[in-house]
Amino acid sequence: MGSKRKYFGTDGIRGRVGEGKITPEFVMRLGWAAGRVLGKGRGGKVLIGKDTRISGYLLESALEAGLVAAGVNIHLLGPMPTPGIAYLTRTLHAQAGIVISASHNPHCDNGIKFFSSEGKKLPDEVECEIERELDKPMTTVESEQLGKAYRVSDAAGRYIEFCKSTIPWTMSFSGLKVVVDCAHGATYHIAPHVFRELGADVVAIGDKPDGLNINAGVGSTHIETLQAAVLEHAADIGVALDGDGDRLIMVDAAGEVLDGDDILYIIACSRLRRGVLEGGVVGTRMTNLGLEQALNEHGIDLVRTDVGDRYILERLQLERWTLGGEPSGHIICLDRTTTGDGIISALQVLAEVVKSGRSLQQLREGYRKFPQITRNVCLGSASAGELLSSRSVQEAVSDVERELEGTGRVLLRASGTEPLIRVTVEGREAERIEALSLRIVDSLQRQLAENHQGHAATA
């Protein structure tokens, strides 16, 4: 059903502000349609939170107008991390939560995504129901049935206390120096407080949003800023979040980067040692083969899904497991919360540092990351499906897989946002996988040329 959706992508609706679907007119209609589906008519309650983009004011007002017109009451949270909005949707017993954010994208983009009353991403069938309402003429309820808007003044404080509750109340980070990079995003007024209140010596960076600087040279997508700050301040640990706070990348005392796979390994091994790991771990097709092998050596199973945290969550629920994530830093601890949460994931790692008395460098010992190379092949107007199914390309992939002999992986996938095919090869030796990846790229480019010549000859 997901492939038939007209407006929703894999994670809500996103685009450049003022273009396409990210306009005041469309977002007002989206609010109205969502209110009719999620608000359950008159008296329903929907939360709205946002990150720090200047366009958040515009889109918040548009959503408010649409929801009120549908007879739904609104509770405005102000700037809040995406996982914080999921949490408050549950605890305030709302019918739905709405997030205005484009995550790690620059300020000129924005988006709308939804949580159910359980604080989880909406199923495809509910998104399709909203789309059907969107295609209807917009109407307004009678004046006495219009919704009202309220401001939730203690939203940040509620979420701070929830984050702290995910580790033992006796836990103290006293003696740890932590640099926290908030990406000038939605965690700027929350993350530093969480770590300080738990006793850490905190150096906050990326904590001065101005509406335009979200993710600009800071945060989990620009980790070099955190690396420099950790070394400058002689910190023990660096924590980098993205603009909406659902991703986490970390830096150790030597300035080395720990991505989502490293973090998954540390949390999984910590829970295994303490006898609280429920089942195995869910990764994605991009999860490093080295992580899979390292977990298997500890007797921990790893299963893979498509790229995207919604697919990780679906598989966790299917397996009845509690831990999953992807290299980009989306880590889901289902025994703590319902969605990826950068702050909560960082707390699990810091708690293990304190409990074990070991550094981040020591905690990730035993995991050897395999070299991984990804190259892009531009499709132009060509069909990704036609290219990937061609005999010559399939033979080239098979030849490379035979050469790797089970010591590496090959992954070809069409980009969901650009006319590209991404070629990923990983294995034990960097030089070897570079050569093997070029072999597959060459086969794709030759097939592209042949297809182009064939189409030109029949034109």
- Torsion, Cα 270 271 275 277, to 10 degrees, reads -150
Catalytic residue among 103, 116, 270, 328: 103
Q: What is the separation of C-alpha 327 from the centre of its chain, rounded to a whole number of angstroms?
A: 10
Q: What angle do CA 448, 449, 455 make, to 5 degrees?
A: 90
- Cα separation of the two ends of the chain: 35
Q: State the amino acid at position 122 in one-letter form.
A: L
How many whole angstroms separate alpha carbon 32 and alpha carbon 180?
A: 38
Q: What is the separation of C-alpha 407 from the centre of its chain, rounded to a whole number of angstroms?
A: 29
How many whole angstroms separate alpha carbon 129 and alpha carbon 8?
A: 11
3 has catalytic annotation: no
Kindly report each contact of residues 431-435 with a partner whose C-beta sits within 8 Å and lies 24 or more positions away, as own/partner. 433/371, 433/372, 433/373, 433/408, 434/373
Q: Cα dist. 54→48, 57, 127, 391, 399 in Å?
A: 16, 6, 26, 50, 51
Residue appearing with tokens 């989990």 = 220
Kindly report each contact of residues 417-420 with a partner whose C-beta sits within 8 Å and lies 24 or more positions away, as own/partner. 419/378, 419/379, 419/380, 419/381, 419/384, 420/376, 420/377, 420/378, 420/379
Q: Would you please indicate which residues are annotated as catalytic (active-site) residues?
A: 103
